[in-house]
A and B are shown apart, each in its own frame.
Chain A
Amino acid sequence: MAEKQYDILIIGAGQAGRRAAEGVRSVSQTASIAIIGEELHAPYDRPPLSKEALLQENGAALCDIRTHQSYADDHIDLYLGMRALSINRASKTVSTDGGVLFGYEKLILATGSRPKMLPVLPYDDELVRSLRTKEDAAVIAGRLRPGALVVIVGAGFIGLEVASAALARGAKPVVIDVADRVLGRVLPRTISEPIAQAHREAGVELLLGASLGVARRKADKIEIGVGDRTLSADLVISGVGVTPNVELAEAAGLEVDDGLVVTQTGHTSDPDILGAGEVVRHPVALTNDVLRLESWQVAEKQAYAVGRNAAGVETVYAEPPWFWSDQLGMNIQLVGAFSPQARIIPRISESCGACYFAIDESDGSGRILGAATIDAGADMSVARRLMGRRIDLDALADTNIPLRQIMKSSR
């Protein structure tokens, strides 16, 4: 017999857990809701952790969207510092390390991800850190001192944002990646190269196509081998991607394949269990693909839709992926995807930034499948509305024709 029974039980007290609860509440004032989370904090958004939290005193406060009290006011019970141990699908219960057994009508798994770890880095050393939590950000912020050599492993968005913060704090960032360019996982070279160039010009050292050797503690430094060099780092930050926290789901026999596999409504292979946020692999609009996306948007919007579905109001999540990054004073946004086969049409102007479109040429349809902007956010607003449409590509390539006009004439 469960000790605590809820209509909707959510495992994972991150942004996705919060949004799933809000999705439930948006359609049911009466459903009993609980969120179980391992961190001691009420749910918080993570984007500021690699930006404002490293740059400003109290910048991490931007992560806090709601207060503890607001959950109580909304009758959403938070069980923090508590770990879910197992799911019993037959009895519809979840056991926890707090000794409490929870019963559910519907269960939402919003267990998120954890940073990947490289075998060559000594993560138990206080000078080596991943960036995932408020605690990580606080430790890193405290060590971004003027003159400090900060070695960042991984030239993805997190790595480049941390490099940008390190530079702003007067530290000397060195970014290392095994790939021969930055942002290789998400952007084509045409777009990643100007971003890399901006980093080099600002004073970030990029060591690309580099093999990481042994890293070990020597006095108050970490000595780390890169190619034939040895760097003596005051701080090493590892930003090499994440691993989805699928262990609970897997042990419960749910379908897992590099993420918890869910439908467009967030349902798993068990009708009473749904998945929300970046732990899931879901059908992604415009891609014909099932993907796991590590982004604010999935946590914010997919999870909200899942909450509504758990409460019985069918809501399909079908937004094209959208992502932003702020670094070196630049705003970078990406919608959809840039496949290697896509034709890229750039629109670049001195005064209004750069906007790139990915055009599908595989079936001759010329549909827009992706767009990226650098300091051209208003263009992104239009690009998002053009996704999946066929438009006049000659007009698109002509920067004298405003995007908004192209959008209107494509209707």
Chain B
Amino acid sequence: MTWTTVAKFDELPEEEGVCVVAEGRKIALFKIGDEVFAIDDTCSHAEAQLSQGFVEDCAVECPLHQACFDLRTGAALSAPATEPVNTYPAKVEAGAVLIEL
């Protein structure tokens, strides 16, 4: 488990996702207020990019079939998804966004 710098905090858009690739994995980053959340970019239900989804109330809605995932826990909050997505610990240090892989 190592912390990896994946983005600059100031360059992340508010309430929108960004896809980064770290150690070969596609990871979606979401900036909510002062915090950043990191989850797998690929939806657990279909081949969709969660970083392209709509963000509201610390949840992201998959763009293809509208399944919602909790950004904090990765839990599937609504069908058609039934499985969670992976989450990664994320922190902001000296303006850099780091996630633990």
- Which residues of A are at the interface with B, using a C-beta cutoff of 8 A? 45, 47, 65, 296, 300, 322, 324, 326, 331, 333, 376-378, 380-382, 384, 404
Residue contact A377 to B80, C-beta cutoff 8 Å: no
User: Could you say which residues of chain A place their CB within 8 Å of the CB of B58?
Assistant: none
Interface majority SS on B: helix, strand, loop or mixed?
A: loop
Within B29-60, which residues are at the interface with A (CB < 8 Å)?
46, 48, 52-54
A321 to B53, CA, bound (A): 20
Number of residue pairs across A and B with beta carbons under 8 Å? 40
Residue contact A381 to B65, C-beta cutoff 8 Å: no
Residue contact B82 to A65, C-beta cutoff 8 Å: yes
User: Could you say which residues of chain A place their CB within 8 Å of the CB of B62?
Assistant: 377
Which of the residues A296, A300, A380, A384 comes within 8 Å of B63, measured between beta carbons? Answer: A380
- Which residues of B are at the interface with A, using a C-beta cutoff of 8 A? 46, 48, 52-54, 61-66, 79-80, 82
A324 to B46, CA, bound (A): 13
Residue contact A324 to B64, C-beta cutoff 8 Å: yes
A381 to B82, CA, bound (A): 19
A322 to B61, CA, bound (A): 14
Residue contact B66 to A331, C-beta cutoff 8 Å: no
Residue contact B64 to A381, C-beta cutoff 8 Å: no
A345 to B52, CA, bound (A): 23
CB distance from B25 to the nearest CB of A (A): 22
Which of the residues B46, B53, B64, B66 comes within 8 Å of A322, measured between beta carbons? Answer: B66
16 contacts between A and B (CB under 8 A): A45-B80, A65-B79, A300-B80, A324-B66, A326-B46, A326-B64, A331-B48, A331-B64, A377-B48, A377-B62, A377-B63, A378-B63, A380-B63, A380-B66, A381-B54, A381-B61
A301 to B63, CA, bound (A): 19
Interface majority SS on A: helix, strand, loop or mixed?
A: helix
Residue contact A381 to B66, C-beta cutoff 8 Å: yes
Residue contact A296 to B54, C-beta cutoff 8 Å: no
Residue contact B53 to A377, C-beta cutoff 8 Å: yes
A322 to B82, CA, bound (A): 19
Residue contact B65 to A324, C-beta cutoff 8 Å: yes
User: Could you say which residues of chain A place their CB within 8 Å of the CB of B64?
Assistant: 324, 326, 331, 377
Name, among B52, B54, B61, B82, the residue most crowded by chain A CB atoms within 10 Å (CB to CB): B54
Residue on A with the closest CB to B15? A404
User: Could you say which residues of chain B place their CB within 8 Å of the CB of A300?
Assistant: 79-80
Residue contact B66 to A378, C-beta cutoff 8 Å: no
A82 to B62, CA, bound (A): 37
A300 to B78, CA, bound (A): 10
A47 to B80, CA, bound (A): 10
A376 to B63, CA, bound (A): 7
